[in-house]
Amino acid sequence: MESALDWHTAHALLAWQMELGVDEAISDRPVDRFAVEQAAKEQAEAKKAQVAVARAAPAPPPEPQIDAVAEAEKAARGAASLDALQAAMGAFEHCELKRGARSLVFCDGVPGAKVMIVGEAPGRDEDRQGKPFVGKAGQLLDKMLAAIGLSRAESVYITNVVPWRPPQNRDPRPEEIATMLPFLRKHIALAKPEMLIVMGNISCQALLGKRGITRLRGTWTKAEDRPAMPMVHPAYLLRTPAAKREAWADLLAVKARLESLTS
Ligand code: URA
């Protein structure tokens, strides 16, 4: 309990302190500097202990990794029709290409046609219109098909390896191709063409497991259990008109095979 000083005693005490050299009143109570130091030490130690406990705690479990190919296989397996497949692809969220594209480019032409063309990836025009091969390369493709009596309006079905335009028209990456491959395989299975035209290196990589279109072109092979003709891409023909001769030969081989089906 504090005892109150009377005025005279307090005055005498003050005078005595001034005598001793005290010239400033800082606080009305004494401060125990030893206790302050001790409290600061204890606080610092408690903080250290807290940090040590946090460091020793087990790291939170990593986010579960999504297997995009397995997800695509599951979604493709569940699609029983071309419409259902298109819807499943539209709902698929595990391919980065989707983020940068305007539209899902699914198909054009006649479902169930004897000839199915598999191109590489949509470009700017295809992304805008939501249909494969509608730009310059597509116009050349239409002329090539017309030269052997085919058209997308009547006798050809067309799709691509990936349904979304890659940014800056870069090639689709191997992992993007692998992710979308289950959808392409199901697309072919549902469209049931008699033969495939595998157009360009990306398509050869996806369906034949190899690149090197200038070596592969012109020789019938098998893809997805049906005859497949690898052909150079019409975009390549636009840059290299001299290659049109070989492309013409390949088109004639397709025409001959088609005729052999009906004869
Ligand atoms: N090139 C392709 O391979 N596909 C298209 O749809 C357009 C250009």
> What per-residue confidence (pLDDT) applies to 3?
58
Distance 20 CA to ligand 1 centre (A): 98
Per DSSP, the residues of the chain read -PPPPPHHHHHHHHHHHHHHT------SS---HHHHHHHHHHHHHHHHHHHHHHHHSPPPPPPPPP-HHHHHHHHHHT--SHHHHHHHHHH----THHHH-S-----EE-TT-SEEEEES---HHHHHHTSSS-SHHHHHHHHHHHHTT--TTTTEEEEESSSSPPGGGPPPPHHHHHHHHHHHHHHHHHH--SEEEEESHHHHHHHHS---HHHHTTS-EEETTEEEEEE--HHHHHH-GGGHHHHHHHHHHHHHHHHHHH-
Q: Which residues, listed in sequence order, are joined to residue 94 by a DSSP beta bridge?
A: none
How do residues 20-62 score in pLDDT, each as one tens digit?
A: 887 777 777 777 878 888 999 999 999 999 888 888 888 878 7
> What per-residue confidence (pLDDT) applies to 55?
84
How many whole angstroms separate alpha carbon 114 and alpha carbon 188? 11
Give the strand pairing for 156-160 and 108-109: antiparallel
Distance 74 CA to ligand 1 centre (A): 26
How many whole angstroms separate alpha carbon 73 and alpha carbon 186? 9
How many whole angstroms separate alpha carbon 193 and alpha carbon 140? 22
The pTM for the full model equals 0.78
| Contact between residue 110 and residue 157 where contact means Cβ atoms under 8 Å apart | yes
What residues in the chain have per-residue pLDDT under 50?
A: 1
Confirm or reject: Cβ of 137 under 6 Å from ligand 1: yes
Confirm or reject: Cβ of 126 under 6 Å from ligand 1: yes
> What per-residue confidence (pLDDT) applies to 212?
95
Confirm or reject: Cβ of 182 under 6 Å from ligand 1: no
Distance 13 CA to ligand 1 centre (A): 100
Domain 68-262, CATH: 3.40.470.10
Confirm or reject: Cβ of 172 under 6 Å from ligand 1: no
Distance 132 CA to ligand 1 centre (A): 6
